[in-house]
């Protein structure tokens, strides 16, 4: 652990010890890492006698609802934001470095007058005022949180082990992506010893495909483009297609990773048309293409091999521009 992280960890523990009411949040369209980390932290805080509640910008996708057994992770509503953030003395922000990724919750968080602790593994710097526990070498926020909890003297009970394991399994694609390290496997082994049920967690996270999703995927994969001698793969997903299929954003999760898994592909891009003329772009790379930098050109970010951007323009207006930048990043790659 670096000196900066050690100091941040101590400062965070101080704040948690002093706090009575804690609210925990993560990014828009919460994922396995955000939710699993939230649930594990909430369990620890409750066991420490604190009031700890989760409040997110959106509800949990169906495949992560099993994590909400004891601790609900509701989506944003103004009444809950007022009630929870109005009375909390500490806010824990997990798996985000950019306040804009809080979506509808962002103004409430900006107005929050209590202390803030961030636990995150994205490439920084953190855009939040407060204590920043950041480790960009951690495969998942949950991998970092596991280390922090150990330093805070927390006992990892089976509910926490399950949540942390699900989070790490999700962010590493089942221990397959390039963020997976020996440390990731050591943490996973520890979590299994503490009661994480590997088979059951993986069944929930990776093998609970709804018929809607299966039908949507069969259409989505009919539309992929390959160019640059098969090094660049992309799909532009219209709002109409999503609507016709009755699909939720969570139903297309994993599509961009599957695109990346095509042989020869070095850069995969998924465009999703959102309402109100906005476009979500997901970037994944294999090897040396730095998609954090590529997404950064469009106001987004993330990690070197996985990044995203939310562009406030209609999909038709952004596809060509993003693809031009993408081709350029492949050329730089060769040079």
Size of the site for ligand AMP (CB under 6 A): 14
Q: Is 260 in the site for ligand AMP (CB under 6 A)?
A: no
Please, which residue, 27 or 213, has the CB nearer to ligand AMP? 27
Q: How far apart are CA 198 and CA 314, in angstroms?
A: 41
Among 134, 213, 260, 303, binds ligand AMP (CB under 6 A): 303
Please, which residue, 43 or 121, has the CB nearer to ligand AMP? 121
Q: How far is the CB of 311 from ligand AMP (least distance, A)?
A: 9
Q: Is 282 in the site for ligand AMP (CB under 6 A)?
A: yes
Task: Judge whether 256 and 270 are in contact, CB under 8 Å.
Answer: yes
Q: How far apart are CA 324 and CA 320, in angstroms?
A: 6
What residues numbered 113-172 form the site for ligand AMP, per CB under 6 A? 122
Q: Is 95 in the site for Mn ion (CB under 5 A)?
A: yes
Q: How far is the CB of 17 from ligand AMP (least distance, A)?
A: 29
Among 54, 67, 148, 309, binds ligand AMP (CB under 6 A): 309
Task: Judge whether 53 and 77 are in contact, CB under 8 Å.
Answer: no
Q: Is 31 in the site for Mn ion (CB under 5 A)?
A: yes
Q: Is 33 in the site for Mn ion (CB under 5 A)?
A: yes
Position of tokens 């609970």? 208
Q: How far is the CB of 252 from ligand AMP (least distance, A)?
A: 10
Q: How far apart are CA 279 and CA 325, in angstroms?
A: 16
> In the chain, at which residue ranges do the beta strands (DSSP E only) sit?
21-25, 51-54, 90-94, 115-120, 131-134, 225-227, 232-237, 267-273, 279-285, 301-302, 306-311
Q: Is 300 in the site for ligand AMP (CB under 6 A)?
A: yes
User: CB count, 10 Å around CB of 169?
Assistant: 27
Using Cβ positions, the residue closest to Mn ion within the complex turns out to be 33
Beta-strand relationship, 306-311 and 131-134: unpaired
Task: Summarize as ranges the residues that interact with ligand AMP (CB under 6 A).
Answer: 27, 98, 101, 122, 282, 300-303, 306-310
């Amino acid at each position: 652990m670096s000196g900066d992280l050690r100091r941040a960890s101590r400062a965070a523990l101080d704040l948690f010890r002093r706090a009575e009411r804690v609210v925990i949040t993560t990014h828009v369209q919460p994922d396995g890492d955000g939710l699993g980390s939230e649930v594990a932290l909430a369990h620890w805080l409750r066991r420490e006698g604190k009031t700890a509640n989760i409040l997110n910008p959106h509800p949990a996708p169906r495949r992560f609802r099993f994590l909400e057994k004891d601790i609900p992770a509701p989506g944003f509503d103004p009444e809950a934001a007022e009630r929870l953030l109005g009375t909390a003395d500490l806010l824990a922000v997990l798996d985000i470095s950019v306040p804009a990724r809080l979506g509808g919750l962002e103004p409430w968080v900006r107005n929050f007058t209590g202390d803030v602790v961030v636990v995150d593994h994205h490439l920084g710097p953190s855009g939040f005022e407060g204590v920043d526990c950041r480790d960009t070498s951690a495969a998942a926020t949950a991998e970092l949180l596991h280390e922090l909890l150990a330093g805070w003297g927390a006992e990892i009970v089976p509910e926490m082990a399950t949540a942390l394991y699900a989070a790490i399994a999700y962010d590493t694609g089942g221990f397959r992506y390039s963020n997976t390290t020996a440390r990731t496997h050591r943490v996973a082994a520890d979590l299994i010893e503490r009661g994480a049920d590997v088979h059951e967690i993986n069944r929930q996270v990776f093998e609970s495909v709804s018929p809607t999703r299966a039908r949507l995927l069969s259409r989505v994969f009919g539309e992929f483009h390959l160019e640059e001698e098969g090094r660049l793969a992309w799909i532009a997903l219209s709002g109409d297609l999503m609507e016709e299929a009755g699909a939720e954003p969570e139903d297309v999760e994993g599509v961009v990773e599957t695109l990346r898994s095509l042989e020869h592909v070095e850069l995969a891009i998924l465009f999703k048309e959102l309402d109100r003329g906005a476009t979500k772009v997901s970037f994944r790379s294999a090897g040396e293409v730095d998609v954090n930098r590529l997404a950064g050109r469009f106001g987004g970010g993330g990690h070197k091999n996985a990044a995203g951007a939310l562009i406030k323009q209609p999909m038709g207006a952004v596809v060509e521009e993003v693809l031009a930048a993408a081709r350029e990043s492949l050329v730089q790659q060769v040079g």
